[in-house]
Amino acid sequence: MLSNASHHVSRVRTLYRRILQLHRALPLELKTLGDQYVKEEFRRHKSVGSAEAQHFLHEWENYVTMLGQQTSRKEESSPDKPRFGSHLPEEKLNALRDEQVGQLKELMREATKPKRQFNVLDDTEHKS
């Protein structure tokens, strides 16, 4: 039983690190928003049941696959087609709980705000 728990923790940490690594390829504002969202979601799902944890990890693994493919593209995206993201199929949207729909709406509001509430500075130049 301990090895299963140890394997699960390792899987979660590896997935979490991989997501944050992939976010480095996003535009700074999307990276900041994405990092914050991922941290909150992983924290929120720390104590869920086994079945929900497996579904949670599976969906984030799908996200890693999709974002990995999108960040590795060499061609530039066209102005009418976003480079990052995908459409949420209606069947997945209908399967969401009310709380999840609320979170999704809040994420959409944050991602589409015309003016930022705060300035995000890229300090990679200042690191030694």
In a domain, 127, yes or no: no
Q: In angstroms, rounded to a whole number, what is the distance separating the alpha carbons of residues 94 and 108?
A: 17
> Does pLDDT of 19 surpass 60?
yes
Of residues 120 and 27, more confidence is placed in 27
DSSP letter assigned to residue 31 = H
Q: What number is the average pLDDT over the span 82-93?
A: 82
Q: In angstroms, rounded to a whole number, what is the distance separating the alpha carbons of residues 28 and 30?
A: 6
Q: Which domain holds residue 102?
A: 2-71+84-114
Give the per-residue pLDDT at 71: 86
pTM of the model: 0.73
Q: What number is the average pLDDT over the span 57-65?
A: 95
In a domain, 125, yes or no: no
The contacts found for 122-127 with CB under 8 angstroms, 24 or more apart, are 122/28
Give the per-residue pLDDT at 128: 46
Q: Which backbone phi and psi does 23 adopt, to 5 degrees? A: -65, -20
> Does pLDDT of 87 surpass 60?
yes
In a domain, 126, yes or no: no
Count structural domains, the chain. Answer: 1
